[in-house]
């Protein structure tokens, strides 16, 4: 029983960049990695930075502000100064839109 809280167009993800979308749960960063669509909270758990503006290397997103890193499959921090995990969100796509659900 999942509730849609945000969506974006699949085409927006195709550039390889993260997309930040607003939601009732705060901004969400959506990425496409090797055909898999992954969504995590967009705001870094260290300070106030948008991870959608960060640098993606495989499944690891590097925060643009201080270089903290997270695995976006698990949300877990993998490099300081990031220490607290990111909230993850479920995604599904109908081929046109990506839907973020809780």
Interface residue list for ligand FES (CB under 6 A): 44, 46-47, 49, 63, 65-66, 68, 81-82
Among 90, 54, 61, 94, smallest CA distance to 77 is for: 61
Nearer to ligand FES, 66 or 88 (CB): 66
Nearer to ligand FES, 59 or 101 (CB): 59
User: Can you tell me the distance from the alpha carbon of 85 to that of 6, in angstroms, rounded to the nearest whole number?
Assistant: 21
Minimum distance from residue 4 beta carbon to ligand FES (Å): 28
Structure tokens, 56? 């993606």
Nearer to ligand FES, 68 or 99 (CB): 68
Q: How far is CA 16 from CA 3, 67, 79, 83, 101, in A?
A: 26, 19, 22, 26, 21
User: Can you tell me the distance from the alpha carbon of 87 to that of 74, in angstroms, rounded to the nearest whole number?
Assistant: 9
Nearer to ligand FES, 62 or 99 (CB): 62
Minimum distance from residue 31 beta carbon to ligand FES (Å): 16
């Amino acid at each position: 029983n999942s509730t849609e809280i945000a969506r974006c167009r699949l085409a927006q993800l195709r550039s390889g960049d993260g997309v930040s979308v607003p939601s009732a749960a705060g901004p969400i960063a959506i990425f496409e990695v090797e055909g898999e669509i992954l969504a995590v909270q967009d705001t870094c758990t260290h300070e106030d930075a948008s991870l959608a503006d960060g640098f993606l290397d495989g499944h690891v997103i590097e925060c643009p502000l201080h270089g903290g890193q997270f695995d976006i499959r698990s949300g877990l921090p993998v490099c300081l100064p990031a220490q607290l995990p990111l909230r993850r969100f479920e995604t599904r796509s109908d081929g046109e839109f990506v839907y973020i659900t809780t």
